[in-house]
Amino acid sequence: MSSDVYSFNLKTITGENKSLADYKGKVLLMVNVASKCGLTPQYEGLEKIYKDYHAKGLEVLGFPANEFYAQEPGSDNEIQDFCRSTYGVEFPMFSKIVVKGEGQHPLYKYLTETKKDAVILEGGSLMSFLESKNLLTGNTYDIKWNFEKFLIDKNGKVVGRFAPDIDPQDPLLVNEIKKALEA
């Protein structure tokens, strides 16, 4: 298994090959995203956090995925158009990948096996809802839903994992980002 995220290469949403090694020295917030999810308004918060901390060394990286109730059915062009026109997304977006189950992208295999447990939103109802609908299937460390977040330090190590319903503006997440930027 890789020792950091820099060994992975992916295709951007515009079709270019991109090495995550290009982000060495940056703090990364990696998020599996979807355009037709109840959590889709998190794009707004992700863009805000990107704008607030990008100059300090933060990169938000979006990875569209369609594993959860087919909530990301569009093509890369449709996803990009939606994100830009609806939420003004400027942070880097990548081509749609599989984040859970058969065909899981090696990056997400690495992320989920490296940081098996996510910080859960205290008082949040998403996890109990997913459990009540038998939607928490597979390994306990699998991605639970759209908008699960991984925080990567400047050395490419996974230092945090946050449940999908933790908003990008939640002080819990923002404080961890600030710590990683200051380290």
Q: What tens digit of pLDDT does each residue of 62-107 get? A: 999 999 989 999 999 999 999 999 999 999 999 999 999 999 999 9
Q: Which of 169, 120, 179 is nearest to 144 (CA)?
A: 120
Q: Tell me whether residue 16 is exposed, middle or buried, using C-beta atoms within 10 angstroms of its C-beta: 0 to 12, 13 to 18, 19 or more.
A: exposed
Alpha-carbon span 20 to 10, nearest angstrom: 8
Domain boundaries in the chain?
5-182
Give the residue with greater pLDDT, 95 vs 127: 95
CATH class, domain 5-182, is: alpha beta
Q: What 3-state DSSP class applies to 17? A: strand
Marked catalytic residue, from 4, 6, 18, 37? 37
Q: What 3-state DSSP class applies to 89? A: coil
For the chain, how are helix, strand and coil distributed in percent, rounded to 5? 35, 20, 50
Q: What tens digit of pLDDT does each residue of 9-21 get? A: 999 999 999 999 9
83 flagged as catalytic = no
Q: Which of 172, 159, 175, 182 is nearest to 30 (CA)?
A: 159
